[in-house]
A and B are shown apart, each in its own frame.
Chain A
Amino acid sequence: MFAFVLRRGMQSVVVLFVMSLIVFSMINLVGDPVDMLVNPESLPDEIERVRRDFGLDQPVYVQYWKFLTGALSGDLGNSFVFGRPALTLMAERFPATLELAICALIIAVTIGLPLGVYAGLRPDGLGARFIMGLSVLGISIPTFWLGLMMIIVFSVILGWLPVSGRGETAVFLGIESSMFTLDGLKHLAMPATNLALFKIAMVMRLARAGTNEVMAQDFIRFARAKGLSSRRIVRAHLMPNILIPIVTVVGIEFGTLIAFATVTESIFAWPGLGKLVIDAIVNLDRPIVVAYLLFVVALFLVLNLVVDIIYAVLDPRVRLQGDEE
Chain B
Amino acid sequence: MIALSAIRTRPTSYVSGLLIAIIAIAAVFAPLIAPTDPYALATVSILDGRLAPGGEMLDGTIAWLGTDGAGRDVLSAILYGLRTSLTVAISSAAIALTIGLIVGLTAAFYGGRLDTILMRVVDIQLSFPAILVALVLLALLGKGIDKVIIALAIVQWALYARTVRAAAMVERRKEYFEAVTCLELSNTRIIWRHLLPNSVSSLIVLATLQTAHSISIEATLSFLGVGVPITEPSLGSLIANGFDYILSGAYWITFFPGAMLLATVAAINIFGDQLREIINPRLAK
Contacts and interface: CB of A to CB of B under 8 A. Distances in A.
B142 A300 contact: no
A144 B239 contact: yes
Contacts of A289: 139
Interface string A263-302: 1001100000000001001100000010001001100100
Given A15-B124, A263-B220, A282-B226, A145 B261 contact: yes
Interface residues of A, number: 40
Contacts of A296: 128, 132
Contact of A143 (B127, B212, B220, B255): B220
A184 B205 CA distance: 44
Interface string B228-259: 00000000100100110011010100110010
Contact of B226 (A31, A137, A281, A304): A281
A152 B254 CA distance: 10
Contact of B254 (A137, A141, A148, A293): A148
Contacts of B23: none
A142 interface: yes
Interface in A31-88: 31
A156 B261 contact: no
A262 B239 contact: no
Contacts of B223: 144-145, 263, 266
A260 B258 contact: no
Contacts, number: 107
B239 A145 contact: yes
A15 B224 CA distance: 28
Contacts of B242: 148
A267 B223 CA distance: 9
A156 B249 contact: yes
A145 B254 contact: yes
Interface stretch (A22-30, A98-106, A311-319): A22-30
Given A148-B239, A152-B251, A263-B224, A139 B129 contact: no
A151 B265 CA distance: 22
B225 to A, nearest CB: 6
A165 interface: no
Nearest to A278: B224
A263 B262 contact: no
Interface stretch (B101-109, B174-182, B185-193, B266-274): B266-274
A145 B129 contact: no
Interface of chain A, main secondary structure: helix
Contacts of B92: none
Interface magnitude class on chain B: 35 or more
B262 to A, nearest CB: 6
B4 interface: no
A156 B266 contact: no
A26 B142 CA distance: 10
B266 A23 contact: no
Contact of A26 (B140, B220, B249, B254): B140
Contact of A144 (B128, B220, B247, B255): B220
A139 B131 contact: no
A262 B138 CA distance: 14
Contact of A293 (B136, B239, B269): B136
A136 B128 CA distance: 23
Contacts of A239: none
Contacts of B76: none
Contacts of B124: 15
Nearest to A148: B254
A260 B128 CA distance: 11
Contacts of B246: 148, 151-152, 156
Contacts of B225: 278, 282
A148 B258 contact: yes
B239 A259 contact: no
B189 to A, nearest CB: 35
B273 A266 contact: no
26 contacts: A23-B140, A30-B139, A136-B270, A140-B216, A140-B265, A142-B239, A142-B261, A143-B220, A144-B219, A145-B239, A148-B243, A148-B258, A149-B258, A155-B247, A156-B251, A163-B247, A255-B129, A262-B132, A262-B135, A278-B225, A281-B226, A282-B226, A293-B136, A296-B132, A300-B128, A304-B127
Interface of B: 124, 127-129, 131-132, 135-136, 138-142, 212, 216, 219-220, 223-226, 236, 239, 242-243, 246-247, 249, 251, 254-255, 258, 261-262, 265-266, 269-270, 273
Given A27-B140, A259-B128, 17 more contacts: A26-B140, A30-B140, A139-B269, A140-B266, A141-B262, A142-B219, A144-B223, A145-B262, A148-B242, A149-B254, A152-B255, A259-B131, A262-B224, A278-B225, A281-B139, A282-B226, A300-B127
7 pairs of A and B residues whose beta carbons are closest in the complex: A145-B258, A140-B266, A259-B132, A26-B140, A281-B139, A256-B129, A30-B142
